[in-house]
Amino acid sequence: MARNGFAEFLIARRAELRPSDVGLPEGGRRRTPGLRREEVAVRAGVSADYLARLEQGRDTNPSVAVIDALADALLLRGGDRHHFSMLALASGNESRCPGSESAQEQVAETIETILRALHPTPAFVVGRRLNVLGWNQAWVDFVAPLGLLDHDEQPNLAWYTFLHPAARRVFRNWDEAADIFSATLSRAKLRWPGDDSLLETIDALRRHPDFAQRWKPHRVGAHISRTLHLDHPVHGPVDVPFETLEADRDQNLIVWLADRASTHAPGLRLVPNRAVNE
């Protein structure tokens, strides 16, 4: 049976902990890093065989008491503990979870109207898979020189970041951007565990080493940067703040506040002054 997100979390977290983290001696050679399965089982008050079934995805219905005991045994706190609990409750029930149906890929007419109204501020709508579903002309003008629209396929922020040859030059903080997008897809998988298109996108990205290295479903990433740090081919080095608004449960409206951008060229404005043009 294939492992689920909860099973992956259990294995990854067990591998992260050192014996000294839980008051055990460091002595002795270990075949694999981290805590032994038996050590976690004892701390949680469950059998090693039962923990093995959970890690292998053969048991997908742990009780709330077991979930809490395992969270304590693995020293989980705050957001990590909540994420762990959500994965446990969803394990084995992906097809019955809310959001298991296909995503809504069509941008509502009202959101299209908002996109047009935001011009000349760049704005776009992104879906579950980080695919760009709609945009205004200001966004096209800003991102076209970056190569985001080079291909006929639907633009996708993750595919661009990990696969486009220009991405590492465009993002001055490429590592941070890559971490953010991989964490975003991890949260999406938790929210929509039965979305086949989302899972196919993640599986395809995991074939690429840079994404696979960052794919840690047991770490959803609490910090989300609110500024893009770009080396723009036209505008030069520029820092662009952005805001994300939920358009509906499948889509987010993202606004790049280019009129507040910090550029390294004196007097350069990325967005024309409305008063001058009206």
Residues 39 and 163 in one domain: no
Residues 161 and 216 in one domain: yes
Q: Is residue 248 part of a domain?
A: yes
Which CATH number do you get for residue 160? Answer: 3.30.450.180
Residue 99: pLDDT above 50? no
Q: Last residue of a domain, which of 26, 57, 92?
A: 92
Q: Are 34 and 17 in contact (CB under 8 A)?
A: yes
Q: Last residue of a domain, which of 65, 92, 119?
A: 92
pLDDT, tens digit (0-9, with 9 covering 90-100), for 57-93: 888 889 999 999 999 999 998 878 888 888 888 776 5
Which CATH number do you get for residue 36? Answer: 1.10.260.40
Mean pLDDT for the stretch of residues 8-14 = 88
What 3-state class would DSSP assign to 22? helix
- If one compares 49 and 219, the residue with the highest pLDDT of the two is 49
Residues 221 and 136 in one domain: yes
Its domain, for residue 224, covers 109-277
| C-alpha span between 164 and 162 (Å, rounded) | 6
Structure confidence at residue 183 (pLDDT): 85
Residues 49 and 158 in one domain: no
Q: Is residue 104 part of a domain?
A: no
Classify burial at 277, counting beta carbons within 10 Å of its beta carbon; exposed 0-12, middle 13-18, buried 19 or more: exposed
Q: Angle 37-44/64-73 helices, nearest 10 degrees?
A: 120
Residues 59 and 120 in one domain: no
Q: Is residue 103 part of a domain?
A: no
Structure confidence at residue 277 (pLDDT): 47
Residues 114 and 239 in one domain: yes
Q: Is residue 100 part of a domain?
A: no
Number of domains, the chain? 2
Element (H, E) at 81: helix 78-90
Residues 83 and 131 in one domain: no
Residues 51 and 172 in one domain: no
Tokens of 105: 């890929």
Confidence of residue 118 (pLDDT cuts 50, 70, 90): very high
Amino acid letter, 46: V
| C-alpha span between 5 and 193 (Å, rounded) | 9
Residue 164: pLDDT above 70? yes
Residues 75 and 117 in one domain: no
| C-alpha span between 159 and 193 (Å, rounded) | 20
Strand ranges, E, within 19-161: 123-126, 132-135
Residues 51 and 145 in one domain: no
Q: Last residue of a domain, which of 39, 65, 92?
A: 92
Residues 125 and 192 in one domain: yes
Residues 67 and 186 in one domain: no
